[in-house]
Chain A
Amino acid sequence: MLRKPYQFLLVLFFIILFCAPIYLLFRGHPSLQISLIEDRVLGLPEKSYPTLKIAIEYIQQGRLDLAFDLVWKLYTEGALQKKVDLAATDLFPLRMSIILFSKAMDRTIIELSYQFTGDSVIPADMTSGLFIMLDEKVLIYPPATLDKNDEIYIQQKLGNYRELSTSFPEVNFYIYYIEALEFSPYNPLNKYYPKADKGQAFEDFIENLPETISVEMLSLESLEEHLQNFYRTDHHWNTNGILKGYDEIYDLLAEKYPNIPDKLLPTEMVTFEDIQFQGTFDRQTLYPIPGDTFTGFNADFPSCKVKEDGVEGQYNSRDKYLKGEYSTLPYVSHYGLYFGTQKGMIEFDCEVNADRNLLIIGDSYARPLVSLLAAQYKHTYFVDLRQNKDFTLSGFLRQYPVKDILFVGGPNVIFLDADQWNVKIN
């Protein structure tokens, strides 16, 4: 027995207090740690301090002033402190178990708070802003409510489309809008958000869009349609939605492209039975629901050479998946791996009987479409403006003769985020 009662607290407290530094001291130098859930490398000091390494090299070379300048800058900007703070948290013993426990506590408090409301759609955790539809086990965003700044952005986007259509009259512009649940009249939370957008912003946007731009959308006509076309644990559209989107885009392009080659039809639908796809929403909330069934499809894809940012490569891992070569670890980003990776510019040069080229401007929603639409064009280019900040349309068209330009995406890409998605002309 302890001699004095207070020793009990002291011993336990100091054991806990010293356990983390001792653990860090004795764990040695493990290899690179990647957190799949957070999609990042966990902060290991020796891996994260290139500046410090350079400073040490300077010291070894006797160039102390340069070393001091480097470290001083790192320190006064707070970068050094932030990295140490992050590493201390990242490398804490049992970190992931602690986070899971905390999320479980979040859920208990939320369920307690909503006990008396009878709501069937409640927050999935306390931090992500995502909700869970309890009956359907679907994670969703709450309705979007737009403010004056958003209205300014919409006007800026409209101005950009007008400028594009007048500056490049010889080019056909198309918009394919993927209606997100948070902007839809069918979001089950709309009744609690008196200022919910419910699709109004897009309607206003369309009314003011130049008539020369052709528009089509993956419209949600009911909540069930959302459940059919999108994953339960991820914000992306699933195979069903993708194929529906491709169908509609094909028809849209065909209006001004009389000789368009035949539509690509899926020859095989594949369900990867051993994959539980736990998408972005799942990663953010760690909500204990089963992952999505992950499906893909095969088709008579034409033979293409693919360049990613000018370098020849493999756009996606579809072929590997179809051969059964994939990871079944939880939280793997199957959508990205299967449908295509994100780069500044992807170029498809395909053996297709076509004389036109297509430029697709869009985000991750457009990735699965690229390999499908490449079957209708000689050259298909895919630009993600978030990763291609220097992109100008004049510059691009000088280099690549393109007749059709297609914008694909959700609200941010199409009408809301002018900062990221306005196309610079010069």
Chain B
Amino acid sequence: MPFSSITFIFLFLPIIILLFYIVRKSLWRNIILVGSSLVFFAWSDPIHIHVLFLSILINYFWGRWIGKALDENNQKLARVHMWLGVFLNLSLLGFYKYTGFFLDILDALLPITITTATKSLPLGISFFTFSGISYILDIYNKVTPPERNLIHFSSYLIMFPKLLQGPITRLIEIRDELAHPKFIPLGIMQGVRRFIGGLAKKVILADSLSIATTKIFASEFSEMGAGLAWFGILAYTLQIYLDFSGYTDMAIGVGQMLGFNLPENFNFPYISHSISDFWRRWHITLGAWFRTYLFIPLEFARKKEKFLRQQSNLLIVFLLTGLWHGASWNFVIWGAYYGVILAIEASGFGKKLKKAAPFVQHVYSLALIIIGWVFFRITDIQSWGSFFGALFGMNGWRDSVTFRSLNVLFYVPFLIPAILFSLPLMHRLGENAKAKGGIYLVLLDIGYIILFVFTLTFIISKGFTAFMYAEF
């Protein structure tokens, strides 16, 4: 069920909020949360509901067994359970997401023909399996004890605000809130603001730009002028950020309305000073996951190696980051692209970059990020050359495929608010109003209400579109 649907905003959300504030006991609240999360998931993907149950059971029981082994000081057994738990989570993910991809590779390598039936991907599987793995590893590393209450555990793993597109949350981050839910009007108010802001980013800006980019990236690049190609990739750069961060804002907002503080996922990534900085600001919880559970263990395991250790570890981590985004070569190459850049930055270039003028740092970062989105957006690797050709003027400024022939000229004004909402400016204005309080705060909230009503007009008139990140 998309957050930006009328069903969610005017039926699902009011019912859940009402139930949440009528019922005060944490166990009953968590029962409501689990039930509503199952309905939320099944609304969009009913045939994969069993995958959710399987994930809950695997992680709950393996967590308990690891905890028990640790309590008995049986480190060896705990390790066996830990690896089994991780393996089962990865098997679940691999079975649905990567079977076809790896069989295609085998098919190409071996002199036999392998045919597989295409499996549909359970929504949000990449997110909830990574949450499951973090839970298993956190118990093994004694970061947090296992959750004994199945209802509390289920509400952590599948709570609907973060279920489909994150933020990937560790149990330790919301454990207290699950056990001792708090009703704080200030939190609800912040949640409402956050939700409205995210909804507007997604519906008004990201969805509109997505119509333009869909047309542009479906057309013939060899006949596209540089103007349209640049508009296309800039619009996509903004769209993917506004879509994903808009969803995250809504998730965090709904979480706050229900009394949970989910972790932040974005921190204005397009103002980064370097690519390392970008990955500290973009999809923060995924970056943190890979850093905590892969990069640091790799560094530790290979600490005796001196030659290019950090660089090769970065490359491994980002190859897997790319693969996490999709079972396709373009995502792998996109990950490798960032792995190589980060390895170069880690080899001393990053220090030199810090000495350059801030403007140079921003241009460097933004240029590389935008190029990266070309690899990400265009799945057909053979088309990359012709798109870059169009970007760099091989077909002239204008060619057969134009703003008018694709009927996308009227999406150009959307770039202005899209840029504004991608920079900290609007956020700072809001923060200033909150700090000043009084009439400024009232005006800010009038602005939010107008934005909410305005966004509703978009939803009702244009229907709704699926969120992009749910497919990863």
Chain A interface residues toward B at CB < 8 A: 4-10, 12-13, 16-18, 20-21, 75-76, 78, 81, 84-85, 88-89, 92, 95, 98-99, 101-103, 105, 109-110, 112-114, 117, 123, 126-127, 129, 142, 145, 189, 192-195
| CB 8 Å contact bits of B309-327 with A (1 = contact, 0 = none) | 0000000000000000000
Residue from A92, A117, A145 in contact with B6 in the complex, judged by beta carbons closer than 8 Å: A92
CB of A98 within 8 A of CB of B457, answer: yes
CB of B14 within 8 A of CB of A21, answer: yes
CB of A92 within 8 A of CB of B457, answer: no
* Chain A residues, Cβ within 8 Å of B193: 9
* Chain A residues, Cβ within 8 Å of B409: 113-114, 117, 123
Residue of B at shortest CB range from A101?
B457
Known contacts A5-B441, A7-B185; 14 additional CB pairs below 8 A are A4-B185, A5-B438, A6-B185, A84-B11, A98-B456, A101-B457, A102-B461, A109-B410, A110-B410, A112-B410, A112-B413, A123-B409, A123-B410, A145-B405
A9-B192 contact in complex given A21-B10, A123-B407, C-beta closer than 8 Å: yes
CA distance A81 to B462 in the complex (A): 18
* Chain B residues, Cβ within 8 Å of A4: 185
* Chain B residues, Cβ within 8 Å of A88: 5-7, 10-11
Q: From residue A76, how far is it (CB to closest CB) to chain B in Å?
A: 5
5 interchain residue pairs of minimum CB distance: A102-B461, A9-B445, A192-B404, A20-B10, A113-B410
Provide 14 A-B residue pairs closer than 8 Å at the C-beta atoms, listed in order of the A residue.
Answer: A5-B441, A5-B445, A7-B185, A13-B196, A16-B449, A16-B453, A21-B15, A98-B460, A109-B413, A109-B414, A114-B409, A126-B211, A192-B404, A194-B405
Residue from A8, A117, A129, A194 in contact with B442 in the complex, judged by beta carbons closer than 8 Å: A8
CA distance A165 to B445 in the complex (A): 72
Taking the complex as formed, is B458 at the interface, i.e. its CB lies under 8 A from any CB of chain A?
yes
CA distance A75 to B437 in the complex (A): 48
Q: From residue A192, how far is it (CB to closest CB) to chain B in Å?
A: 4
CB of B462 within 8 A of CB of A9, answer: no
Number of A-B contacts (CB under 8 A): 124
Residue of A at shortest CB range from B438?
A5
* Chain A residues, Cβ within 8 Å of B47: 76
Taking the complex as formed, is B43 at the interface, i.e. its CB lies under 8 A from any CB of chain A?
yes
* Chain A residues, Cβ within 8 Å of B44: 81
CB of B189 within 8 A of CB of A6, answer: yes
CB of B452 within 8 A of CB of A95, answer: no
Chain B interface residues toward A at CB < 8 A: 1, 5-7, 9-11, 13-15, 17, 42-44, 46-47, 185-186, 188-189, 192-193, 196, 208, 211, 400, 402, 404-405, 407, 409-414, 437-438, 441-442, 445, 448-449, 452-453, 456-463
* Chain B residues, Cβ within 8 Å of A109: 410, 413-414
CB of B445 within 8 A of CB of A113, answer: no
Chain A interface, >50% SS class: helix
A10-B442 contact in complex given A192-B405, A195-B400, C-beta closer than 8 Å: no
* Chain A residues, Cβ within 8 Å of B445: 5-6, 8-9, 12
Residue from B442, B453, B457 in contact with A105 in the complex, judged by beta carbons closer than 8 Å: B457
CB of B460 within 8 A of CB of A95, answer: yes
* Chain B residues, Cβ within 8 Å of A112: 410, 413
CA distance A413 to B426 in the complex (A): 53
CB of B437 within 8 A of CB of A5, answer: yes
CB of B449 within 8 A of CB of A142, answer: no
Q: From residue A391, how far is it (CB to closest CB) to chain B in Å?
A: 35
Q: From residue A276, how far is it (CB to closest CB) to chain B in Å?
A: 23
Q: From residue A10, how far is it (CB to closest CB) to chain B in Å?
A: 6
CA distance A189 to B186 in the complex (A): 55
CA distance A95 to B10 in the complex (A): 14
CA distance A109 to B417 in the complex (A): 13
CA distance A127 to B207 in the complex (A): 12
CA distance A157 to B1 in the complex (A): 43
Residue of B at shortest CB range from A13?
B192
Residue from B15, B410, B457, B458 in contact with A114 in the complex, judged by beta carbons closer than 8 Å: B410
Residue of B at shortest CB range from A9?
B445
* Chain A residues, Cβ within 8 Å of B17: 17
CB of B462 within 8 A of CB of A127, answer: yes
CA distance A411 to B361 in the complex (A): 55
CB of B437 within 8 A of CB of A142, answer: no
CB of B410 within 8 A of CB of A6, answer: no
CB of A78 within 8 A of CB of B46, answer: yes
A99-B461 contact in complex given A6-B441, A10-B185, C-beta closer than 8 Å: yes
CB of A17 within 8 A of CB of B10, answer: yes
A13-B449 contact in complex given A21-B14, A105-B457, A127-B462, C-beta closer than 8 Å: yes
* Chain A residues, Cβ within 8 Å of B461: 98-99, 102-103
Residue of A at shortest CB range from B444?
A9
Residue of A at shortest CB range from B45?
A78
A12-B11 contact in complex given A75-B46, A81-B44, A102-B457, C-beta closer than 8 Å: no
CA distance A194 to B196 in the complex (A): 43
CA distance A105 to B407 in the complex (A): 17
Query: Which of A18, A113, A123 is the most central at the interface, judged by chain B CB atoms within 10 Å of its CB?
Result: A113
Residue of A at shortest CB range from B449?
A12
A18-B449 contact in complex given A76-B47, A194-B400, C-beta closer than 8 Å: no
CB of B189 within 8 A of CB of A17, answer: no
Query: Which of B1, B185, B461 is the most central at the interface, judged by chain A CB atoms within 10 Å of its CB?
Result: B461
Residue of B at shortest CB range from A91?
B6
CB of B186 within 8 A of CB of A6, answer: yes
Residue of A at shortest CB range from B15?
A21
* Chain B residues, Cβ within 8 Å of A193: 404-405
Q: From residue A330, how far is it (CB to closest CB) to chain B in Å?
A: 18
* Chain A residues, Cβ within 8 Å of B414: 109
CB of A85 within 8 A of CB of B441, answer: no
Residue of B at shortest CB range from A107?
B410
CB of A192 within 8 A of CB of B402, answer: yes
Q: From residue B462, how far is it (CB to closest CB) to chain A in Å?
A: 7
* Chain B residues, Cβ within 8 Å of A126: 208, 211, 410
CA distance A126 to B400 in the complex (A): 22
CB of A18 within 8 A of CB of B14, answer: yes
* Chain B residues, Cβ within 8 Å of A18: 14
Q: From residue A160, how far is it (CB to closest CB) to chain B in Å?
A: 29
CB of A10 within 8 A of CB of B5, answer: no
* Chain A residues, Cβ within 8 Å of B410: 109-110, 112-114, 123, 126
CA distance A95 to B463 in the complex (A): 12
* Chain B residues, Cβ within 8 Å of A189: 404
* Chain A residues, Cβ within 8 Å of B196: 13
A195-B46 contact in complex given A9-B189, A102-B461, A110-B410, C-beta closer than 8 Å: no
Residue of A at shortest CB range from B412?
A113
A99-B460 contact in complex given A21-B10, A109-B410, C-beta closer than 8 Å: yes
CB of B452 within 8 A of CB of A16, answer: yes
CA distance A75 to B460 in the complex (A): 24
CB of B460 within 8 A of CB of A89, answer: yes
CB of A21 within 8 A of CB of B405, answer: no
* Chain B residues, Cβ within 8 Å of A9: 189, 192-193, 445, 448-449
CA distance A123 to B407 in the complex (A): 8
* Chain A residues, Cβ within 8 Å of B448: 9, 13
* Chain A residues, Cβ within 8 Å of B463: 89
* Chain B residues, Cβ within 8 Å of A92: 6, 10, 460
CA distance A92 to B463 in the complex (A): 12
Q: From residue A210, how far is it (CB to closest CB) to chain B in Å?
A: 34
Q: From residue B280, how far is it (CB to closest CB) to chain A in Å?
A: 31
Q: From residue A225, how far is it (CB to closest CB) to chain B in Å?
A: 24
CB of B6 within 8 A of CB of A89, answer: yes
A81-B43 contact in complex given A10-B185, A192-B404, C-beta closer than 8 Å: yes
* Chain A residues, Cβ within 8 Å of B1: 81
Residue of B at shortest CB range from A84?
B7
Q: From residue B322, how far is it (CB to closest CB) to chain A in Å?
A: 31
Residue of A at shortest CB range from B400?
A194
* Chain A residues, Cβ within 8 Å of B458: 102
Q: From residue A187, how far is it (CB to closest CB) to chain B in Å?
A: 12
A10-B192 contact in complex given A16-B452, A81-B44, C-beta closer than 8 Å: yes
CA distance A95 to B461 in the complex (A): 8
Residue of B at shortest CB range from A127?
B462
